[in-house]
Amino acid sequence: MTDKNWTDTQRFDDKAAEWDDNARRAALADAVARAIIAHLPISKPQNALEFGCGTGLVTTRIAPHCARLTAVDSSSEMIRMLGEKIAAGNIVNIEPLHLDFSRPEKATELAGDFDFVFSSMTLHHIPDPASFLHELIGHMSPGGTLSIADLDAEDGFFHDDPSGQVHHGFERSALQAMLESAGFTNVAFITAHLIEKKNRAGEQKAYPIFLVTALKPKA
Ligand SMILES: C[S@@+](CC[C@H](N)C(=O)[O-])C[C@H]1O[C@@H](n2cnc3c(N)ncnc32)[C@H](O)[C@@H]1O
């Protein structure tokens, strides 16, 4: 399943400087952050992780609810933008990390077990989500919580750029099976947001965004 388009970080590098200027993207991040906060574990996460953090639109909203947060992205420019926000806001509990999480040999660079892992709109960019979820649970502590927001299965016209290799969203039942096969339990979905946009085929459409939560069982 390896294809150069899956791992083409240039596309995100090129968009990083203007990423936050898109109002639809900001509204999505806001809705996802609110949904994640509403589903936070009862005790404050001590060692959180976001994979595919981008410029930190969601990260910076979740960080005040965590003791420490590692924010990972495979685009160096996205990480640079987040670094600027951290410096400007004097934020002390976010550690930005430039890392491609779809490459297991790279993921070993991550220190520690995470008790809370979250993500928004990144899973559909991961070439092999089933293997990735197996890898991810290995980085989590027993009893840890996972919260992932992404597109429900879509018509294939959501993304404006047809050259990028992506999954066309996820069937909830298929993603639930993947999570359970990786070892997660208590899998539950809500609809966190609806993106209304003119798609690549020129049609005005509504694309639902789910938030799925799951637990790594206690040992
Ligand atoms: C659609 S953007 C979402 C960014 C951010 N979560 C937000 O809501 O604004 C997807 C992000 O995932 C990152 N990404 C894609 N594949 C990745 C991988 N294998 N490991 C880490 N980050 C990845 C991209 O660089 C990009 O910043």
CA of 187 to the centre of ligand 1 (A): 23
- Looking up tokens 């976010």 gives 94
Query: What is 10-215's CATH number?
Result: 3.40.50.150
Which residue's C-alpha comes closest to atom 24 of ligand 1? 52
Distance between Cα 68 and ligand 1 center (Å):
20
Q: Is 157 exposed, middle or buried (0-12, 13-18, 19+ CB in 10 A)?
A: middle
Ligand 1 center from residue 122 Cα (angstroms): 5
pLDDT in tens, the chain (219 residues): 444 467 678 889 999 999 999 999 999 999 999 999 999 988 999 999 999 999 999 999 999 999 999 999 999 999 999 999 999 999 999 999 999 887 766 667 777 799 999 999 999 999 999 999 999 999 999 999 999 999 999 999 999 888 888 999 999 999 999 999 999 999 999 999 999 999 999 999 999 999 999 999 997
Which residue type sits at 65? H
Contact in structure between 70 and 116 (CB atoms under 8 Å): no
Q: What confidence score (pLDDT) does residue 152 get?
A: 98
C-beta 170 within 6 A of ligand 1: no
How high is the pLDDT of residue 4?
A: 47
Q: Is the pTM of this model over 0.85?
A: yes
Annotated domain spans of the chain:
10-215
Q: How many CB atoms lie within 10 A of CB 43?
A: 9
DSSP-assigned states of every residue in 74-99: S-HHHHHHHHHHHHHHT--SEEEEE-
Please tell me if the CB atom of residue 29 comes closer than 6 angstroms to any atom of ligand 1.
yes
